[in-house]
Amino acid sequence: MPDLPQHKPVLAGTVYNGISEAGIRLQALPEGHLLHVLGAIEPSALAAELAKAGFAKSSIRKAGFGQWFVAGDEPLVPASLDALAAALAGKAYVMDQSHGRVRIGVSGRSSRALLSKGTAVNLDPGVFPEGHSAMTMVGHLSVQIVRTGDDSFELTVLRSFAESLWDELTHMAASAEKDDA
């Protein structure tokens, strides 16, 4: 009987251990869980249902009209997903995207300058405050950007494009270092 495929984080290995240069830190974030929720439910009601189902540490990110991503570092527990789906029945649908998307952290004093090289989203804190998210393009890749702190962001990308996004970010970081010199 052939061995079953084993899950391996897409950004595993020495090349993706993180970069910390010129006021920028790139980090492959844990491939915990990412749920896509679609439906007529307010974020506050969704947060309450998430807490009851065991996703209290997860964050809710707007992904479009009537759509949210629920992201967290903890691995997905199938019983929790089932409990959430049952609680949302008739109000919203939930789909597990944990193995289909990857999260990358971008932080540091030059993080906004780095990201502005790849996207047209205005990342000024007055316009794009902490907790705010936007679906956008970084270069040629569709990405969700979330501000997670004063100088920190999280980018979520389809799994098959994660390495390409990482390469794009490291290239932009290298050019940012040259710009600072």
Domain 33-96 coded CATH 3.40.640.10: no
Rounded to the nearest integer, the mean pLDDT of the chain is 89
Q: Are 141 and 161 in contact (CB under 8 A)?
A: yes
145 contacts: CB under 8 Å, gap ≥ 6: 115, 119, 121, 123, 133, 134, 136, 138, 153, 154, 155
pLDDT of 177:
57
- Is 90 buried (19+), middle (13-18) or exposed (0-12) by CB count in 10 A? exposed
Domain ranges within the chain, ordered by starting residue? 15-30+101-180, 33-96
Q: pLDDT tens across 17-51, in order?
A: 667 776 899 999 988 999 999 998 999 999 999 99
Domain 15-30+101-180 coded CATH 3.40.50.2300: no
Structure confidence at residue 152 as a pLDDT band (50, 70, 90): very high
- Strands (E) located in the chain: 19-21, 24-28, 33-39, 59-64, 67-72, 92-96, 101-107, 133-138, 141-149, 152-158
